[in-house]
Amino acid sequence: MANEFITPTIIARQALANLYETTVMSQLVYRDYEDEFVSRIGDTITIRKPAKFEAKNFDRTTGIEIQNAVEGKIPITLDRFADVSFAVTAEDLTLNIVDFNAQLLAPATEAIAQKIDRDILSLRQDVMAYKVGLNSDPDPFKYANPRVAIAARRVLNQHNVPATDRYIVVGPEQEALWLSDELFHRADARGDTEGLREANLGRRVFGFDSYQTQNIKEPEFRAADPAGTTLPDHEIGVAFHRTAFALVTRPLVLPQGAANAHVESYKGFGIRVVMDYDITKKQDIVSIDTLYGIKTLDPQRAVLITTGATKTKP
C-alpha cells in the first residue's frame, strides 16, 4: 500500500522548492506573476512593461513638468508547457519524502528548470543586431577574457540602459576561460538562491553580475560574424538588463475529475502535480507540469557575448 504521506501536496511543495533553487535565467529576467489560474496552453495575457521617464531641466519660473507614468502593455502567450511524468512503483511510494526527492523528484524538476532556462535563452535570437567580442580573426581565444564585458557595457550605456540589474550569462567553455582571469579570484561570489550561488562567477565584473549555465549552448542557436559566416562552434553568452526579457507564469487549474492533485505557487513559480493510476499497466503515475510564456521586451537592453569557442584550442 502506498505511503499516505507521499501526497500531491507534499510532492508539489518539494518540487516547487527544487525548481526555485535550480533555475538561473528565470531569476534574472523581468517577471510577471499573479495568482490568476488559467486552464489551457495558448492563453494570451497582457503584462505591464516598466515605465520610462525622461529627466527634465527644472525651471523655477514654469515649475515642474508632470510626466505621465505610462508603463506600456505587452501581450504574451502562455505557450510553454513543461511536463515531466513518470511511473512510480509501490516501493517508491513507501519512501520518505527525502529519499523520494533524491531519487525521482529532484531529477524531474531539474529537467523542468533546464527547459525554462533554455527557452529564455532562445530569446537571444532577438538580439542578433547587438554583438561584441567576435570578429573575423581566426583565433577567437584572444577575445575570451572577461574584459569583453567592457564592450558590452559600452553598448548598453550607449542605449541608455540603467546601470543597475545588469547581468552576464556565459556557457561552460567561457566560464573555464574566464575563471583563469585574476578578476574572478578577487570577486566575492554570492547569489540569491542555491542555483544562483552555484552559477555565480563573480559578484561584479565591470558593472555586471556574472553567471554560468550549461544551457547556454543550444544546437538550434547560431551566431554569425560580420561577414555573415555562421559559427556553430561558439558559445553565445549574453549581457542584459533585467527588463530586456520577460518570463510570465500562471498556475494551472486542477483537472476535472482528478481527486489526487495539487497546485503550489511561490515567488512567481507555479507547479501542478497530478497522481493517477494506470490500470492498463497497473502502476501509479506522477505528472508534474508548469505553464509559462517568454518574450523580448527590449532587444536594445541586451548584447550577445561571442567570445569563447567550444572546441579545445590546438
Burial class of residue 249 in the structure, from the number of CB atoms within 10 Å of its CB (0-12 exposed, 13-18 middle, 19+ buried): buried
- At 303 the pLDDT is 94
Q: Retrieve residue 147's grid coordinates.
A: 574584459
Q: What is the pLDDT of residues 157-213, one digit of tens each?
A: 999 899 889 999 988 877 777 777 665 555 444 445 555 555 555 446 678 888 888
Distance CA 2, CA 225 (A): 58
Q: What separation in angstroms does the CA of 195 have from each of 23, 26, 192?
A: 6, 11, 8
Q: What separation in angstroms does the CA of 23 have from each of 15, 188, 232?
A: 12, 21, 25
- At 214 the pLDDT is 85
Q: Retrieve residue 206's grid coordinates.
A: 565591470
- At 296 the pLDDT is 95
Positions in the chain whose pLDDT score sits under 70? 1-5, 33-35, 39, 50-54, 68-71, 134-146, 181-205, 217-234, 307-314
Distance CA 166, CA 127 (A): 16
Distance CA 85, CA 278 (A): 12
- At 308 the pLDDT is 47
Sheet of 200-205, strands arranged across: 131-132, 302-309, 234-241, 166-170, 208-212, 200-205
H/E segment holding residue 24: none
- At 166 the pLDDT is 94
- At 146 the pLDDT is 66
Three-state DSSP class for residue 300: helix
Which of 246, 181, 210 is closest to 29 using CA atoms?
246
- At 145 the pLDDT is 64
Assign residue 228 a region: left if phi > 0, alpha if psi is -120 to 50, beta otherwise? left
- At 312 the pLDDT is 38
**Domains (ranges, CATH) in the chain?**
8-53+66-120+247-291 (no CATH), 127-245+298-309 (3.30.2320.10)
